[in-house]
Amino acid sequence: MAQFSDPNAWQSWMKTPQMDMGPIAKTMADLGATIDPAELGKLQQDYMQQLTVLWQDMLAQKTPAIADKRFSAPVWQANPLHAFNAAVYLLNSRFLLAMADAVEAKPRAKQKIRFAVQQLVDAMSPANFLVTNPEAQQKIIESKGESLAKGITNMLQDLQKGHISQTDESAFEVGVNVATTEGTVVFENELFQLIQYQPLTKTVNERPLLLVPPCINKYYILDLQPANSLVKYAVEEGNTVFLVSWCNPGADLGKTTWDDYIQKGALKALEVAQEISGQEQINALGFCVGGTVLSTALSILYGRGENPLSSLTLLTTLLDFRETGVIDVFVDDAQVLLREQTIGKGGLMPGRDFASTFSSLRPNDLVWNYVKSNYLKGEEPPPFDLLYWNSDSTNLPGPMYCYYLRNMYLENNLRQPGKLTVGGQKVDLGKIDTPIFIYGSREDHIVPWTAAYESMSILNPKKPARNRFVLGASGHIAGVINPPAAKKRSYWTNDAPAKTAEEWFAGATENPGSWWPEWSAFLAKNGGKKVPAPKKPGSAKYKPIEPAPGRYVKVKA
Residues catalogued as catalytic: 288
Q: What are φ and ψ of residue 293, in 5° steps?
A: -65, -50
| Number of residues written out for the chain | 557
**Helix or strand run (H / E) with residue 299:** helix 289-303
Taking a C-beta distance cutoff of 8 angstroms, is the pair 174, 553 a contact?
yes
Closest-CA residue to 266 (of 330, 312, 204, 334) = 312
Q: With left for phi above 0 and alpha for psi between -120 and 50, is residue 247 left, alpha or beta?
A: beta
Closest-CA residue to 452 (of 316, 294, 311, 291) = 316
Helical spans, DSSP H, in 68-201:
74-78, 80-102, 107-123, 134-142, 146-161
Measured CA to CA, the distance from residue 533 to residue 236 in angstroms comes to 12
**Helix or strand run (H / E) with residue 349:** strand 348-349
Closest-CA residue to 62 (of 96, 87, 97, 25) = 87
Taking a C-beta distance cutoff of 8 angstroms, is the pair 291, 317 a contact?
yes
What per-residue string of b and e applies to 492-522 under the rule 16 or more CB within 10 Å gives b?
bebeeebeebeebbeebeeeebbbbebbbeb
Helical spans, DSSP H, in 423-500:
449-453, 455-458
Cis peptide bond upstream of 549, omega within 30: yes
